[in-house]
Amino acid sequence: LEQKREAEERLVRKFKAFSTIDFWEGLVFFAMARKTKEQKWLHRIQESLSNVRKQAQSLPAHFQHRLLLFEAEIANITGDVERAAEKYELAVNAFDEYGYTNEQAIAYERAGDFFVAQHDERAPQYYGKAQALY
């Protein structure tokens, strides 16, 4: 029984490590897609999104917030302004709910960037929250 428990712990740690990689790589892919407008980054985003979506379905308390941020980023890239604004708000609240402070700061920063691009007066609020969390 003890060996089974230890094996399960190793698998959970490995799963969490892979999910962290998917999250950070996905954020890089979003940045590159915005910067270069190259299709190859959209394909990489879809791979990361698929993995994050599976993780969120398996363990929502650990991964749902990441999925919400990815959905906000996708809406942002595709020009769906209303959906992006909604998803950014859901994401920052979900990060707060689950206690992922560092990632919440990034979500606030990404939302701030989005609102600046929209000439929305909420941008400074999001940047201020990001700065306070960093």
Mean pLDDT (whole number) for 122-132: 97
pLDDT for the residue numbered 17: 55
Tokens of 76: 């942002």
What are the CA-CA distances from residue 131 to residues 39, 40, 48, 86, 106 (Å)? 32, 32, 27, 21, 9
Query: What pLDDT, on a 0 to 100 scale, did the predictor assign at position 3?
Result: 72
Single pTM value for the model: 0.85
Q: Which string of b and e fits 62-87 if b means at least 16 CB within 10 Å?
A: bbbbbbbbbbbbbbbbeeeeeebbeb
Band of the pLDDT at 12, cuts 50, 70, 90?
Answer: low
pLDDT at 40 exceeding the cut of 70: yes
Joined together, the tokens standing for residue 113 give 């960037």
pLDDT (mean) for 112-123: 97
Distance CA 125, CA 19 (A): 29
pLDDT at residue 14, rounded to an integer: 55
Tens digit of pLDDT for each residue in 71-108? 999 999 999 999 999 999 999 999 888 888 999 999 99
Strand ranges inside 25-124, DSSP E = none
pLDDT of residue 41 exceeding 90, the answer is yes
